[in-house]
A and B are shown apart, each in its own frame.
Chain A
């Protein structure tokens, strides 16, 4: 490809995109601002990686905070360089004229603590020892992640959020943010999420963790100067990836189609396309994700439960900002966090007289629909943000 063609290509690529973006690191090393974790330990000092898109207005009231899911990071939109092939994970939703319109809003996305994409996590160097934390990293919770992001907003001088949004684990952070800082928020948009992990959810996470910890390379979490537990992490990702799909989409995409062959091989090499696809998903994941972070973050999700002893969610919502508006979106083929889980949130919000919008989007894309159903999600987010603006 000649240089001119490449520029044209980039013009197409960057059309509707926030363009080139930069990951920023904020160091929290002021001894007065320590992060007290739910487990009782203190995380200090620590770093948060974050990205911003759009312009903060003079009144600082156009901020939307986006929360990423389990395997996501601060790179929600745009490209890191001209050559970068893949945009941020929610580029379909964030950009000029898009659902979260960066011509209008100042969008922030930060990597969760415990992560491995710039924010402090088990793979980070513990300044006290000069070595990676490994399993000495304290166990974090969804609440801890949210508290850390609030500290980021404080540092950036942002006192009010026009909205928060996220899918899956990102939705859990959204719910926790609503509860922790009710007066900071005008609205929230929660996709494919839950107020409590079910036994089934925990079970899938447990198998994923077992795959990692059973890999001899895991070595009790101490592998940063050795061969990492790639096989274990790949299996964990393969299993998790199945839970993000649906029966319908698996049939539509793969059914029983064979991979590069006409007949069964009658051995344990790859026969089916779906096998090949999952293996690819598993092994491309290990290139970008840390196994220990996977353990810590899935555990944080397992601990997430906003209900009380009787299984009721309403008490957690009692002190929400009564003037806020909330949109909850589920997907018909999502069996990981099915519609019933969203309805639990919707019903608890209704009981608190909170203005709630709910849509169960028809989609065959399973849990991953929140990363794929561009058209419907754009309609929902645009309409809902208009609704919030009118207030």
Chain B
């Protein structure tokens, strides 16, 4: 499927962007690390001290078998015991849409991490807008493939919504990237809000 491969490509490039951004020898926490693909690359290429948090036992076992440090747990409560600023970077890539308490989690990320990196699908991509307008039902796209009744994605967020959230919470946006086709560019927020399926906020 075209949308499937586009999605994979975008996610792969989002990981590349994040990896490039992270300085060697730093301490990194990846929330919702899945099978640990990002952690593995960070550890191999940048000598980073990386830790993941992941809820699924199978994924946790896969991470451990790769020699990665991972803590099984729910992100909604997973950061409580980490000391202030104990990580140089905290990443949440393609996971924010699945958590119950994003406001709490983002505040916790800022407390525990020096820099936080948020990668997420944007719901205001123009095709989604048109689909809603013309079909009058929930759109299905590369990042929204499920039905309303079986989707793990319990939240829809847009680039603009996140910007409004950031301003209201005094979150400083250090860098912002939106995708055009497979690649990421530094785009103005209003443009990305219309043309990007996926975006990355780097904040403090």
Binding site for B on A (CB under 8 A): 325, 327, 343, 346-348, 350-353, 355-362, 376, 379-380, 382-384, 386-387, 390
Most buried by B among A350, A358, A376, A379: A350
Q: How far is the CA of A325 from the CA of B50 in the complex (A)?
A: 12
Indicate whether A357 sits within 8 Å of B65 (C-beta atoms), given known contacts A348-B81, A350-B81.
Answer: no
Besides A325-B69, A382-B65, A387-B68, 6 other CB < 8 A contacts?
A350-B82, A356-B71, A357-B69, A360-B57, A383-B68, A390-B67
Most buried by A among B64, B68, B69: B64
Chain A residue contacts of B72, Cβ below 8 A:
358-360
Cβ of B34 to closest chain A Cβ, rounded Å: 15
Cβ of A327 to closest chain B Cβ, rounded Å: 8
Q: How far is the CA of A382 from the CA of B64 in the complex (A)?
A: 9
Cβ of A187 to closest chain B Cβ, rounded Å: 11
Partner of A379, one of B64, B80, B82: B64
Partner of B57, one of A325, A343, A350, A359: A359
Q: How far is the CA of A361 from the CA of B57 in the complex (A)?
A: 7
Q: What are 15 contact pairs spanning A and B, CB under 8 A?
A: A343-B73, A348-B81, A350-B83, A352-B83, A353-B83, A356-B71, A358-B73, A359-B57, A361-B57, A379-B65, A380-B64, A382-B65, A386-B67, A387-B67, A390-B67
State how many residues of chain B have any CB contact under 8 Å with chain A.
20
Chain A residue contacts of B57, Cβ below 8 A:
359-362
Q: How far is the CA of A363 from the CA of B51 in the complex (A)?
A: 25
User: Is A358 a contact partner of B65 (Cβ separation < 8 A)?
Assistant: no
Chain B residue contacts of A346, Cβ below 8 A:
71, 81
Indicate whether A383 sits within 8 Å of B73 (C-beta atoms), given known contacts A353-B86, A360-B57, A362-B57.
Answer: no
B33-89 with Cβ < 8 A to chain A: 49, 51, 57, 60-61, 64-73, 80-83, 86
**Considering only CB atoms, which chain A residue lies closest to B61 in the complex?**
A379
Cβ of A321 to closest chain B Cβ, rounded Å: 15
Partner of B64, one of A347, A351, A384: A384
Chain B residue contacts of A379, Cβ below 8 A:
61, 64-65
User: Is B66 a contact partner of A383 (Cβ separation < 8 A)?
Assistant: yes
Indicate whether A355 sits within 8 Å of B81 (C-beta atoms), given known contacts A346-B71, A362-B57, A387-B67.
Answer: no
